[in-house]
């Protein structure tokens, strides 16, 4: 419950003096016959005369007309509408008044969220709901519910009073342990994660987690070690939700690379004692570090129980390096900043006799990168050195020195889920990325893995731009008390490509697959997934590479204490 919307103001019996005052103050009166009784409405502001007469005519009794009118104002989004009534000698009078909100009282910790509503002469559901979104988030984290009541202050003004009560069995701290075989675009197939999340009474939420790869279990993709630490803290202020995220990754790989030793002669002029050039595969040690730190914010611009629109922003600092043992110069050195501005829209349609429940989520983000140095924007130097060492050979143009931090990227996403029948829903998702340059490694569009192109390992398709489409049919089954199974059939299609290249990778590469997902949930304690998919279509440059990254199945097991 946390914080609900204010309820419909209950109708009360008006005095004769109030009726006379309403007659004098009301410019118009709407009259209708309700089952043989004349009903007169004074003070109507928001309904047309025809709508009001239609509502009154549909009532079976005057009492039903009073209650129906109060509900109609509420459903139309008008709060604090006082609908009183009085039985006269030959009729029933209904007196409508729009009360003014004096202030929200009773809970000091909640007052900053509602301070902007004080003195509102025509409080609407949208105005109150927008203020309550972040207040509700704080109350849930703190472990409190708030009951709402009205206290009339005279002069057609009213206070909304919040009364706090503790939520039973509220657990402010969660300990999370997870094992999975989700894989990574860099290394490893089997991973373990441990984390803790704590919700403070102030509304602040903090979480920290550690993840590592179990490379000894196989399928490590040349990986030797991975350590990842993630920290996140945010707080719902009255002006918006603001937070900081820090993510640090270091990993060690030992891939094999072909090394050619040039031939030599003891007496070159006589061509004596010569040894031919030799080529062999040797292991090289790569040590990578990735540090990402970001400040983020979200402000609710409009909100009702049915719709919500919010503005999001993020400032991110990225430092990504790859060192090769025995080499002084870094293979990758990308240090830059990203500014992101976005919008998020949600539309809810609740279940009714006329239509099934549905939910639409749409977002659009605009990213702009800044920075230089390291291996960024050094393609001219790279090309000159490559041509000198490999005369007559085409110069690769999808390499680290060809990337730039001075980029603009647009990231749209859309999801729509609708109830088909009891427990059955269909969900469609679409997301994409479109950019104007070759992007730094951490900004690239990556497909593959448990949640995108599940027939393949992460990194099966990588590019500066791309898209992913997915359709799933889901059936929720309550197998036992607290136990929920959700099998799903899904199909997905995705593609990617690079910018500023003359190679085949500048053209779209595309994949499609279909499969089965099974979710198992037991309360808040257990969450598990099993995903298996098969390829049904591919249009790629390197078929052998795609085959190497085919995945048999994915699994995840998460316990929350």
Q: Which domains does the chain have, with CATH numbers?
A: 1-170 (no CATH), 414-561 (2.40.160)
Residues 334, 340, 341: CA angle, nearest 5 degrees:
170
Average pLDDT value for the chain: 92
Each residue of 328-375: pLDDT tens digit? 889 999 999 999 999 999 999 998 888 999 999 999 999 999 998 899
Q: pTM for the whole thing?
A: 0.88
- Average pLDDT estimate for 446-465: 95
Determine the Cα–Cα distance for residues 120 and 342; give it in Å rounded to an integer: 30
> Residue 254 — very low, low, confident or very high, per pLDDT cuts 50/70/90?
confident
Residues ≥6 apart with Cβ < 8 Å to 293: 244, 245, 246, 247, 316, 317
Residue with the bigger pLDDT between 153 and 470: it is: 470
pLDDT at 154: 84
Determine the Cα–Cα distance for residues 323 and 332; give it in Å rounded to an integer: 7
- Average pLDDT estimate for 188-214: 96
- Average pLDDT estimate for 524-531: 96
> Residue 511 — very low, low, confident or very high, per pLDDT cuts 50/70/90?
very high
- Average pLDDT estimate for 160-184: 94
> Residue 265 — very low, low, confident or very high, per pLDDT cuts 50/70/90?
low
Q: What is the helix, strand, coil percentage profile of the chain, to 5? A: 15, 50, 30
Percent of the chain residues topping a pLDDT of 70: 95
pLDDT at 262: 60
pLDDT above 90: residue 479: no
Residue with the bigger pLDDT between 439 and 327: it is: 439
Residue located via tokens 């040039």: 262
19 SS3 class? helix
pLDDT at 261: 59
> Residue 248 — very low, low, confident or very high, per pLDDT cuts 50/70/90?
very high
Specify the long-range contacts of residues 441-444, CB closer than 8 Å, at least 24 apart.
Answer: 441/320, 441/332, 441/334, 441/400, 441/403, 442/290, 442/292, 442/318, 442/320, 442/334, 443/338, 443/367, 443/369, 443/407, 443/409
- Average pLDDT estimate for 456-483: 95
pLDDT above 60: residue 269: no
Determine the Cα–Cα distance for residues 277 and 274; give it in Å rounded to an integer: 10
- Average pLDDT estimate for 76-104: 92
The secondary element (H helix, E strand) that includes residue 191 is: strand 191-199
């Amino acid at each position: 419950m946390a914080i609900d919307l204010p309820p419909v103001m209950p109708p009360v019996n008006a005095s004769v003096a109030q009726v006379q005052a309403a007659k004098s103050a009301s410019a118009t009166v709407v009259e209708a016959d309700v089952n043989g009784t004349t009903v007169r409405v004074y003070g109507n502001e928001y309904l047309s005369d025809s709508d009001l007469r239609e509502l009154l005519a549909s009532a079976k009794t005057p009492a039903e007309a009073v209650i129906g009118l109060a509900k109609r104002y509420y459903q139309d989004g008008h709060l604090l509408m006082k609908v009183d009534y009085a039985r006269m000698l030959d009729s029933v009078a209904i007196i409508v008044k729009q009360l003014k909100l004096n202030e929200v009282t009773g809970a000091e910790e909640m007052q900053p969220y509602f301070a902007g509503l004080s003195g509102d002469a025509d409080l609407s559901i949208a105005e109150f709901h927008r203020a309550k979104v972040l207040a509700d988030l704080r109350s849930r984290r703190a472990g409190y519910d708030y009951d709402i009541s009205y206290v009339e202050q005279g002069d057609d003004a009213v206070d909304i009073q919040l009364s706090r009560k503790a939520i039973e069995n509220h657990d402010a701290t969660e300990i999370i342990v997870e094992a999975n075989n989700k894989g990574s675009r860099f290394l490893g197939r089997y991973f373990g994660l441990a984390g803790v999340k704590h919700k403070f009474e102030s509304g602040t939420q903090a979480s920290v987690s550690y993840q590592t790869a179990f490379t000894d279990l196989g399928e490590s993709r040349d990986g030797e070690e991975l350590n990842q630490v993630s920290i996140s803290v945010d707080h719902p202020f009255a002006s918006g939700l603001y937070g900081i995220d820090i993510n640090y990754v270091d990993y060690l790989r030992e891939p094999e690379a072909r090394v050619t030793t040039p031939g030599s002669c003891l007496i070159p002029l006589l061509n004596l004692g010569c040894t031919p050039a030799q080529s062999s595969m040797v292991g090289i040690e790569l040590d990578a570090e990735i540090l990402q730190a970001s400040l983020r914010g979200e402000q609710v611009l409009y909100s009702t129980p049915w719709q919500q629109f919010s503005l999001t922003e993020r400032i991110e600092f990225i430092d990504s390096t790859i060192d090769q043992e025995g080499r002084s110069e870094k293979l990758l050195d990308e240090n830059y900043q990203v500014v992101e501005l976005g919008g998020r829209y949600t539309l809810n349609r609740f279940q009714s006799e006329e239509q099934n429940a549905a939910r639409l989520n749409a977002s659009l983000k605009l990213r702009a990168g800044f920075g230089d140095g390291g291996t960024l924007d050094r393609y001219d130097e790279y090309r000159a050195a490559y041509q000198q060492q490999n005369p007559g050979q085409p110069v690769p143009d999808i390499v680290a020195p060809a990337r730039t931090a001075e980029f603009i990227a647009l990231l749209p996403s859309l999801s729509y889920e609708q109830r088909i029948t009891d427990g059955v829903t269909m969900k469609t998702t679409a997301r994409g990325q479109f950019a104007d340059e070759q992007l730094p490694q951490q900004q690239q569009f990556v497909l593959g893995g448990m949640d995108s192109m599940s027939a393949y390992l992460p990194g099966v398709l990588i590019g500066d731009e791309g898209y992913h489409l997915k359709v799933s049919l889901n059936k929720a089954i309550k197998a036992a008390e607290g136990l929920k199974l959700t099998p799903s059939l899904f199909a997905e299609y995705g593609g990617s490509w690079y910018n500023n290249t003359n190679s085949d990778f500048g053209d779209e590469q595309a994949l499609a697959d279909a499969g089965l997902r099974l979710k198992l949930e037991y309360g808040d304690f257990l969450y598990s997934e099993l995903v298996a998919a098969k390829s049904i279509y591919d249009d790629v440059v390197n078929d052998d590479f795609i085959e190497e990254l085919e995945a048999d199945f994915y699994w995840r097991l998460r316990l929350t204490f």
